[in-house]
């Protein structure tokens, strides 16, 4: 969509135009849900946080000053909601499935689920094996294709800090994912889940 058209839509939505609001928010639903899913690694959490982000965006729409794109603004709201949620849950951190010992005998259904697929492995590694700041920058750059400048604005980092953290995030993810790897999807490597759970 042309930026000018987008700006018109935002102005209309700000003044209460229902159709403009529906257009504006409608086109960002899939983006925002996927962003939350990649950050949280959990469909139910992503669903809750996406709703929260949309409601907050609606409530604050009047204060949107058009200095950034609507998506960048929405992403900043989403990241803040995600961070708040992590803080709330700090005392109840979820357990990495690799730490759960599952007996090796039989075709237990949980083993089949765990073995499932690359999608799970990526989300699992993002959720359990990357610190928050690295997860955020990796998701925004490599999964959502935002520019360095946009990411700097959203995360409140300088451009140089953004580049450094992105490099570290990629290295950490690579060490975790590739070095120990996922045999089912990259021929050269052994899958962490398969290795530990001996499926």
The answer to whether 64 contacts other proteins (rule: CB under 8 A) is no
CB 75 to other proteins: min, Å: 15
Q: Is 108 or 115 the residue whose CB approaches other proteins more closely? A: 115
Q: Least distance in Å: CB of 72 to other proteins? A: 18
Question: CB of 82 within 8 A of CB of 36?
Answer: yes
Q: Which one among 54, 70, 82, 134 touches other proteins, defined by CB under 8 A?
A: 54
CA gap 53, 70 in Å, rounded? 13
Number of residues that bind other proteins (CB under 8 A): 41
Kindly state whether residue 108 participates in binding other proteins, applying the rule CB under 8 A: no
> How far apart (Å, rounded) are the C-alpha atoms in residues 134 and 63?
29
Nearest partner of 81 among 33, 20, 22, judged by Cα: 33
- Residue-wise over 152-164: b if at least 16 C-beta within 10 A, else e? bbbbebeeeebbe
User: Nearer Cβ to other proteins, position 114 or 125?
Assistant: 125
Q: Which of 7, 11, 30, 96 is the binder for other proteins (CB under 8 A)?
A: 30
């Amino acid at each position: 969509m042309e930026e000018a058209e987008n700006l018109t839509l935002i102005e209309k939505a700000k003044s209460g135009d229902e159709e403009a609001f529906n257009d504006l928010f409608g086109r960002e639903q899939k983006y925002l849900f996927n962003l939350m899913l990649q950050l949280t690694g959990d469909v139910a959490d992503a669903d809750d946080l996406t709703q929260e982000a949309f409601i907050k965006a609606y409530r604050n729409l009047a204060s949107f000053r058009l200095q950034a794109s609507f998506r960048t603004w929405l992403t900043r709201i989403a990241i803040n909601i995600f961070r708040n949620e992590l803080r709330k849950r700090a005392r109840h951190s979820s357990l990495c499935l690799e730490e759960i010992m599952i007996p090796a005998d039989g075709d237990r259904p949980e083993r089949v689920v765990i073995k499932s697929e690359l999608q799970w492995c990526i989300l699992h590694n993002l959720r359990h094996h990357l610190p928050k700041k690295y997860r955020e920058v990796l998701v925004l750059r490599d999964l959502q294709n935002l520019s360095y400048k946009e990411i700097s604005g959203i995360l409140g980092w300088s451009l140089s800090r953004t580049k450094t953290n992105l490099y570290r995030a990629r290295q950490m993810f690579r060490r975790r994912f590739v070095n120990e790897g996922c045999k089912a999807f990259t021929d050269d490597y052994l899958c962490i889940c398969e290795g530990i759970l001996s499926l």
